[in-house]
Amino acid sequence: MALLEVIGLTKRFGDRTVLKGIDFSLEEGDTKVIMGPSGCGKSTLLRCLNRLIEPDGGQILFRSEDVTRADTDVRLLRQRIGFVFQQFALYRHLTALENVTLALRKLKGMSSRDADAKALLELRRMDMEEHRAKYPAQLSGGQKQRVAIARALAMDPAVLFFDEPTSALDPEMSREVVALINRLRYEGVTMLCVTHDVSLARYVTAQVIFMDAGEIRAEDEPERLLSGHHDPRIREFFGNLGHADA
Amino acid sequence: MIPESVNSSAIWVMPMLELLGFWRDLVAYGPQLVEGLRKTLVLAGSVSVSGLLGGILVFGLTLSQQPAVRRITEAWVSFFIGMPLLVLLFLVYYGLPQWGIRLSPFAVAFWGFTLNVSAYNARYLATAYRSLDAAELEAAHAQGFGASQIFLWIILPQVLRLSVPALTNQVILNLKDSSIAFLIQYTEFFAQVQELAAQNFRFFQAYVLAGLVYLALVSVIVLAARRLEARIILPGLER
């Protein structure tokens, strides 16, 4: 059964149409990567799916329930979707542990003890337990991203969204995070990942969605998109990234 | 001709006698001065607390999702920052009785200061808010927090930390400005110093005393603020 089904999703900002009828689906346990040039609407799409940005038209079915309806409990929807940001977006005034426990205590109503136990479990999963008492300013970029992933996973989300998770990292840290995302994939975590990072697409995913100018131009296996695709726009894009036999 | 040694002794004796006389008056008038000091501290302390709470409330309203609420709050803040405090106090203390509304000097001073200080504190907090990372707020929304939860758990702890120097300055201003409350018959410390000076005509000594007392109190506030800043600075963000 599709966890997420997007039908004809549109979004305009003023007179600029950013999403022009997006259709795709994401099965439970699946991982998909969305790629495309800057400004093609990838990040807007991700934010429309959890209604951080209100879509103008189309439907988003989350476990068959239309979550674009006006009476949708948007906050509950967001709690079911973990979101990991490019710039980590950790709360600066909280330690790594507190970053993970805040939502558990305030949104899930867990006691401090239970929230700490759950948070430590997730931090351990991300090899970050020993850094639990550190503040974000004391962590490296890769460590911050691990805490951000632990924070998202702690809420037991149905799906994890990543918005350019490796863009702000140096190559070594980027490889670490890619390996981590890959591990989650094998653990069966459903993921949707927006990225420019070809290595992430290659290493992690079974399916890549290629977007351009607010539309999905192709959805295929990474190698087929990366190596001499029949669509010249896709060949050009990956050629510019230096990863296609264009 | 007066010998030089006698002349130089007189130069020292006169001020000593003056000082002794002032000291005697000071001891005699001590209870009133202490009472005045107590009233100064009560006014400055209470408006610092109410001004902080009011500032947080007004700052919260400036973040409202309702444009009308934001506009009204902004106008409110601008009005009370623009209105001289003394005019506000006179308006309420001397103006309102014209319409049958009479308030005690303390009530007028408390509410006048609170409105004024709240407006300033709201501005300080709003300035600190602009330096927050927008991504943090987006992340909080993405996690499913509501607006009031984000305000309480994400925004407020950070803007209060960032605003400590400005808020401390405001507490110092509250203490110093409390001296204008004597103009609406609130007999705080400076009013008592005036009274003392008027009785013995030793104005210079009286005002030096007032200045030293205010300086000592300000020093205590500054030291306390430094300790607070050292405690709340986030590891990794020290300068």
Whether residue A83 and residue B142 make contact (CB cut-off 8 A), yes or no, is: yes
Question: Chain B interface, mutation test: which of A62, A77, A91, A153, most B Cβ atoms within 10 Å?
Answer: A91
**Where do the structural domains in chain B lie, given as residue ranges?**
16-232
Interface test with B, best of A53, A92, A139, A145 (most B CBs within 10 A): A92
Q: Do the Cβ atoms of A89 and B139 come within 8 Å?
A: yes
Mean pLDDT of chain B: 89
Residue B134, classified by CB atoms within 10 Å of its CB into exposed (0-12), middle (13-18) or buried (19+), is exposed
| Cα radius of gyration rounded to whole Å, chain A | 18
Q: Which among B129, B143, B158, B232 is the top mutation candidate for probing chain A, defined by the most A β-carbons within 10 Å of its own β-carbon?
A: B143
Helix (H, G, I), strand (E, B) or coil at A86: coil
Which positions ≥6 away from B72 have C-beta within 8 Å? Answer: none
pLDDT at A201: 83
Give the per-residue pLDDT at B92: 94
Nearest to A91 among B154, B235, B237 (CB): B154
pLDDT of amino acid B131: 92
Write down the H helix ranges in A107-231: 112-125, 141-154, 171-186, 198-204, 222-226
In the chain, the amino acid numbered B122 is A
Residue A72 has pLDDT above 90, yes or no: yes
pLDDT in tens, A6-56: 999 999 999 899 999 999 999 999 999 999 988 899 999 999 999 999 999
pLDDT value at A65 more than 50: yes
A213: exposed, middle or buried (Cβ count in 10 Å: 0-12, 13-18, 19+): middle
pLDDT tens digit string along A118-161?
999 999 999 999 999 999 999 999 999 999 999 999 999 999 99
Is the CB of residue A134 less than 8 Å away from at least one CB of chain B? yes
Which residues, numbered 103 to 132 in chain A, qualify as contacts with chain B under a Cβ-Cβ cut-off of 8 Å? Answer: 103, 106-107
Model confidence over B99-145: pLDDT tens digits? 999 999 999 999 999 999 999 999 999 999 999 999 999 999 999 99
User: Rounded to a whole number, what is the distance in Å from the CA of A189 to chain B's nearest CA?
Assistant: 18
The sign of the CA dihedral B134, B139, B141, B145 is negative
Q: Bridge-partner residues for A160, per DSSP?
A: A82, A191
Note the pLDDT of residue B10.
66
- Distance from the A103 Cα atom to the nearest Cα atom in chain B, whole angstroms: 7
Q: Which residue of A has its CA nearest to B161?
A: A93
- A92, A102, A151 member nearest B158 (Cβ): A92
Asked if A107 and B135 come within 8 Å (Cβ–Cβ), the reply is no
Q: What ipTM was reported for this prediction?
A: 0.92
Of B136, B142, B145, nearest to A92 by CB-CB distance is B136
B-chain residues near A75 (CB < 8 A): 144-146
Beta partners for residue B124, in sequence order: none
Rounded-to-integer distance, Cα B92 and Cα B104, Å = 10
- Residue A174 pLDDT > 70: yes
Report residue B192's pLDDT band, with 50, 70 and 90 as the boundaries.
Answer: confident
**Per-residue exposure over B13-35, b if at least 16 CB sit within 10 Å of its own CB, e if not:** eeeeeeeeebeebbeebeebbee
Contact assessment for residue B159 and residue B125, using Cβ atoms and an 8 Å cutoff = yes
* Other Cβ atoms within 10 Å of B209 Cβ, number: 18
B26, pLDDT greater than 90: no
Say how far apart CA B87 and CA A226 lie, in whole Å: 73
Predicted pLDDT of residue B173: 95
- The set of residues, in sequence order, having a beta carbon less than 8 Å from that of A71 and lying 6+ positions away, is none
In CATH, the architecture of B16-232 is Orthogonal Bundle (1.10)
Q: What is the pLDDT of residues A182-225, one digit of tens each?
A: 999 999 999 999 998 888 888 877 789 999 989 999 998 888 88
Measured distance CA(A107)–CA(B228) in Å, rounded: 31
How many Cβ atoms are within 10 Å of A155's Cβ, its own excluded?
22
CB-CB under 8 Å, A87 with B142? no
